[in-house]
Structure 1
């Protein structure tokens, strides 16, 4: 499905007031909506039939009955959902034919039927668009005034002018007033629904960003919403969005690009583009990927800090957005800012729970999980796994000489130095005090000996370490593996420190028997 069509379908399903499509004849409840109007039409026809004073009016009366019947039948049986939304205005507009016929039937006398034009006006004020209501007001003028102008006083008495003009004035003033009240009611209902969507987004899960993007699209009546946040290099990347967006393709570098997203990130000011196809500030890449035509760029800040940019897009041109929609998008943006802070706090707390506070290395809990994982992987793949225990030599003497603050700084500097030599997948954890554990996946004893020799040369402040090495063997558990590395460490200590001790993995019983023979 093309991007623009996808956003149009999403837009039609949204709950935002700017795009709510009114389908009074095809939506559920048509009987409840239409019954009062049909009842008044039947009463008018019945009154005309019972009070007719001339047989010459019979053809007109038959035409009235047939027209009313046709309109009611069409309202019930026509598959309006398959037709354009505007077509549903044809039924109430068709009632002007009924009014014209009934006026003509009583044209020579003071007719009381001009007020019937209020029926289609009220219907379209409740269920139609502003354009349809304007058409109804013009049709009212044509229905009531055209016969008076063309036929004059020979058929229509002068008093009819006053009643007709009064009916037209009431419709021209009352119809728009009713429609405004209806729109305000729909707006309030949409606002309540929007607040509910925001509330649901905040309770949806650990990361509410996707749900908040969906809420932003809903409250604005938009086709999509996407959230951009800076990565470690300062590039804005899409971290969440509504369904159907390829987030991996959405990247903006605010340092080199001048498009609207980068501009809003730099300035912190909201920007709205009514038609991105003709606006040079629009990003062609964003337009191509989303099919957007009108786009709102909402900066997200927290305590004066820029944290993200929320983009809300529409598949059609819109001169402006209602203030209520802008306010709700701003509310969603504030919640996104709070959500980002909460997510960062949760991530920090999770990292702290798995990290040694002093050195930044993994703590014992994290080490146990990592060693379980790496040992299981080694058994599954057959790749080697080497474990090392590293202990600072004469650390107590260093503390006694330079103080505990200096000792703490030495441990931190040691971890930083070790990381420069280790790979991304290697694990370094603080085992306790001045002792550290290393897990080296896909690394055998010979390779580990080379790495350990380089680590001996990295110890800061002129200090030394002792290292115990062992490779995982068949039947090893995390406890047996670390225990053997500990014994290897004591070999290094007993051998004079500042050196490497190594213990190979024990052979299987069958291998021992073969070696003995």
Structure 2
């Protein structure tokens, strides 16, 4: 049994996930349905137990969304990592008089697997219930355990995504407040493939990027000054009007689905990430990121029509949502769902001069190259966006004989992979026997895989973009302070291991405030960018530069003695553009000091260079 203190710690751990009282999510619902199907039970749920109740994140066969903690079977499952089973509640004195046994839903059988967090707390259970006494097979117990693990994966992913979104929102807010640069913010927002908007305290759009205009089918002028209520689906209006409360209840960042109508009546599903940001007079404004998930929603609806395909597609979706590389899961799922002999995913190389196999059910094909030749069926599908089907590949002028010999394919189906509006790859499905035509089911599941592959490739790109934004100074393109700290720690560790010298320098543009006052802030921004470019051109391969703040820059020179560092840094000093100068202080690691001490010595040397008249390089 848990002590009161242990239970308080457990409940605190549950609250840290920010999931209680959130909207239903398809990823959890899919696992709950699968649990009921695998155990052949009429009821299943994902239940999370707080101080006084058990709240259902997902349920099948139950109308309520929560029960009191005292009535729930699941509270007994919190005390052990093993599955908790009640074969017949009528025969168990703990439950015989339970209102859920004597009344609706008339529970007789219960099996629940505790949901154990990474720090060892039981947050709740994945459980299945029946109205008749029964037992599960060993295989069913194992499958229930496996599904409980997937539920915890979704919970951990949700907590990780919550933290990442909060960090990104905080970074954007800080940059906006520090620079108050609408033009730079607009450039970043307009370049984003994700829809982004800012609304005032009344919910009226203040700005929106082109991606959001495209999603909603409305121009910028048709959005600014208006609210989204006029084109929000009527069933989602209560959620729209409660946006502020939802953000607060979600811990500052809310994620939800919402449906909107385009002017032509086309209904679009949006996945929204919402957070509050302060206005210039302290108003509570709302920043929204919107992704058009209509295709995904339609794919999910089609998925429900084929329960036998659920496990394979769910694996692909889990891979995508976890941020892991889903390519291998895509091709393996295609092999099963299309009853194919061979599946591969093909993507363009960096300059789009050729296509490369990045995942395949036959590992020997990974890395194979396909020329961007208009006579190639694969290349034509990539360039045109049109699917290609050949019932008989032998002798076909657009099918490579080498590919046929390698795979033994006699029928192929090639479909494009779209990420948003652009084509990001091609899926090749092949059979070693002839198919007279591609039936609706095969076409549907291959199209579904292509959609998921597009989401995976797009997500990989977005994660890379977010990483770049989080580690790069937006004005100069150099590393920012956070990235500098991480890189310098790594260089110090390398120097300590190898015994090689490491020199660190701090550079400061002389009289930069005067330059700003005389020429204006735009010219000052240009000076910072031009100096960053000039400095980069004078450094050696392997040197690392960052913007430290304001007009100060830092440089790390690995495997560089003090004398060599002076030559490099003097080149940097003499490269300052626009008839300006800079002062540089540098220090070479003494083999014992920590990073902070090394930087302090370099900064002291910079101060000495300033005091000595500026436009010089001084060693500590």
What is the TM-score of this pair, normalised by structure 2? 0.47
After superposition, give the CA deviation of every residue in 1:466-495 in whole Å (9 maximum; x if it has no partner): 222222221021111111111222232233
- Map 1:88-487 → 2, pairs under 5 A: 191-204=306-319, 205-207=322-324, 208-238=326-356, 240-246=358-364, 249-254=367-372, 258-284=375-401, 286-287=403-404, 290=407, 292-423=409-540, 425-487=542-604
Offset, 1:397: 0.7
Q: Name 2:138's counterpart in structure 1.
A: none
Distance 1:226 1:454, change over 3 A: farther
For residue 460 of structure 1, give the secondary structure of its aligned residue in structure 2.
Answer: coil
CA separation of 1:401 and 1:251: change in aligned 2, threshold 3 A: farther
What residue in structure 1 maps to residue 148 of structure 2?
A: none
Normalised TM-score (structure 1): 0.56
Kept in 2, the 8 Å contact 1:224–1:241? The answer is no
| Residue of structure 2 in register with 1:162 after alignment | none
Moved more, 212-221 or 370-379: 212-221
Query: Which structure features the higher share of strand residues?
Result: 2
Aligned-pair distance for 1:279?
1.9
Distance 1:444 1:248 in 2: 45
Give the equivalent residue in structure 2 for 1:490.
Answer: 607
3-state DSSP class of the match of 1:318?
A: coil
Q: Deviations over 1:293-351 (max 9, x none)?
A: 43322112244322221222333443432221011111111122222222222221222
Residue deviations 1:381-401 (CA, integer Å, cap 9, x gap)? 122222111111111111111
Query: Quick one: distance in 1 between partners of 2:435 and 2:542?
Result: 51
Question: Which structure 1 residue ranges, 5 or more long, are not aligned?
Answer: 1-186, 504-517
Change (3 A) 1:421 1:325: farther
Q: For residues 282 and 422 of structure 1, what CA distance do their matches in structure 2 show?
A: 50
Task: Please give the secondary structure, in 2, of the residue aligned with 1:430.
Answer: strand
Q: Deviations over 1:106-155 (max 9, x none)?
A: xxxxxxxxxxxxxxxxxxxxxxxxxxxxxxxxxxxxxxxxxxxxxxxxxx
Structure number with the bigger relative contact order (C-alpha 8 A, sep ≥ 6) is: 1
Which structure has the larger Rg?
A: 1
Q: What is the alpha-carbon distance in structure 1 between the residues aligned to residue 402 and residue 357 of structure 2?
A: 17
Q: 1:455 to 1:247 in 2, by over 3 A?
A: farther
Conserved 8 A contact 1:228-1:236: no
Compute the displacement of 1:371 (Å). 0.8
Please list the CA deviations of residues 455-476 of structure 1 after superposition, one character each: whole Å capped at 9, or x if unmatched.
2233222222222222222102
CA offsets, 1:190-248, max 9 Å, x none?
A: 93232442222111231323222222222211233222233432245547424542466
Q: How many residues align?
A: 316
Say if 1:249 and 1:343 are closer, same or farther in 2 by CA, change over 3 A: closer
| 1:423-480, Cα deviation, whole Å (9 max, x unpaired) | 5533221111111111122222232222222222332222222222222221021111
In 2 relative to 1, CA 315–453 (structure 1 residues): closer, same or farther, beyond 3 Å? farther
Report Cα offsets for 1:50-103 as digits up to 9, x if no partner.
Answer: xxxxxxxxxxxxxxxxxxxxxxxxxxxxxxxxxxxxxxxxxxxxxxxxxxxxxx
Q: What is the match of residue 125 of structure 1?
A: none
Q: Cα distance 1:495–1:258, how it changes in 2: closer, same or farther (>3 A)? A: farther
The answer (yes or no) to whether the contact 2:389–2:412 under 8 Å persists in 1 is: yes
* CA distance 1:239–1:262, shift in 2 (3 Å): closer
**Distance in 2 (alpha carbons) for counterparts of 1:285 and 1:493:** 69
Contact 1:264 1:270 in 2 (8 A): yes
Q: Measure the CA separation in 2 of the matches of 1:315 and 1:348.
A: 40
Aligned CA-pair RMSD: 2.7
CA contact (8 A) 2:544 2:555 kept: yes
Give the equivalent residue in structure 2 for 1:515. none
CA gap of 1:340–1:414, structure 2 versus 1, over 3 A, is same
Q: Secondary structure at the match of 2:590?
A: coil
CA distance in 2, matches of 1:235, 1:424: 28
Matched, 1:502 2:619: yes
Question: In 2 relative to 1, CA 222–421 (structure 1 residues): closer, same or farther, beyond 3 Å?
Answer: farther
Quickly say closer, same or farther: Cα 1:425–1:310, change in 2 above 3 A.
farther
In the alignment, the residues of structure 2 paired with residue 228 and residue 458 of structure 1 have an alpha-carbon distance, to the nearest angstrom, of 45
**Structure 2 gaps, min length 5:** 1-301
Cα distance in 2 for partners of 1:424, 1:316 equals 54
Give 3-state SS (helix, strand or coil) of 1:448's partner: helix
Quick check: which one's helix share is greater?
A: 1
